[in-house]
């Protein structure tokens, strides 16, 4: 049931700003040589919204760091959630699969790690707001009829980036390890080295932390 022959996992324990979190994901997409799962948190309450979203839609959210994601999707509140990025380089065979197939397989792995009380949404529900977690789509993870995990993707010539959030559920202390093992039977731990962090800081400075990026739509 594993998706990848080998998977690297990064437990990014330092909490970081919204702009830097987004930039690290992009920096990893530029350079990883095997599928990589980064799990991370935020240094204070934040809000991310999809690439095609409008800044005016989140103008009412005071007191949160706001950042436009490179991936699509709706509005996601961060702070108490567990956020992850799954990066699949173009050299990996999974990259040739459809975006929906990857979405379904990663959420099925997550659902198994969360336990039998959860399930995958069979189809999309009617959109009721711009909030990501108010609008389940096919293969989102559900608990007692409510969405607890969703994600958004970006595919480039370098690879695929899937950014996701898990919230409104108590996670087991070893959930991240269980999730990784469901994705691959061969999991290795890696750290974010200085080269990647320096590149991410460059990306954040010219992109995610700028008003031009925030207000581009």
Residue 98: enclosing H or E segment and its boundaries?
none
Is 132 catalytic? The answer is: yes
Instruction: Give me the DSSP letters along 201-217.
Output: HHHIIIIITSHHHHT--
- The answer to whether the Cα torsion of 77, 79, 82, 85 is positive or negative is positive
Take residue 95 and report the two structure tokens written for it.
């990259």
Residues 196/28, Cβ–Cβ less than 8 Å: yes
Provide the strand spans (E) within 30-143.
36-42, 46-49, 65-68, 76-78, 82-89, 118-120, 141-143
The C-alpha atoms of residue 180 and residue 60 are separated, in whole angstroms, by: 36
Among 132, 152, 161, 187, the active-site one is 132
Q: State the distance between the two ends of the chain, measured CA to CA, in whole angstroms.
A: 40
Taking Cα atoms as reference points, which of 135, 146, 14 lies closest to residue 75? 135
Residues 23/51, Cβ–Cβ less than 8 Å: no
What residues act catalytically? 132
């Amino acid at each position: 049931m594993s998706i990848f022959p080998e998977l690297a996992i990064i437990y990014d324990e330092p909490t970081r700003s919204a702009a830097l979190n987004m930039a690290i994901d992009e920096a990893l997409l530029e350079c990883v040589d095997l599928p990589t799962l980064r799990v991370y948190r935020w240094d204070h309450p934040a809000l991310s919204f999809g690439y095609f979203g409008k800044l005016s839609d989140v103008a009412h959210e005071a007191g949160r760091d706001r950042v436009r994601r490179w991936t699509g999707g709706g509005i996601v509140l961060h702070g108490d959630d567990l956020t992850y990025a799954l990066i699949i380089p173009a050299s990996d065979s999974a990259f040739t699969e459809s975006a929906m197939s990857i979405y379904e397989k990663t959420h099925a792995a997550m659902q198994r790690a969360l336990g039998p009380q959860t399930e995958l949404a069979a189809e999309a529900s009617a959109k009721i707001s711009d909030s990501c977690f108010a609008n389940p789509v096919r293969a989102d993870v559900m608990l007692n009829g409510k969405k607890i995990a969703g994600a958004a993707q970006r595919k480039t010539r370098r690879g695929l980036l899937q950014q996701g959030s898990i919230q409104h559920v108590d996670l087991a202390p070893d959930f991240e390890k269980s999730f990784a093992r469901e994705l691959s039977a061969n999991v290795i731990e890696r750290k974010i080295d200085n080269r990647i962090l320096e590149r991410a800081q460059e990306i954040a400075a010219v992109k995610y932390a700028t008003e031009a990026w925030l207000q581009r739509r």
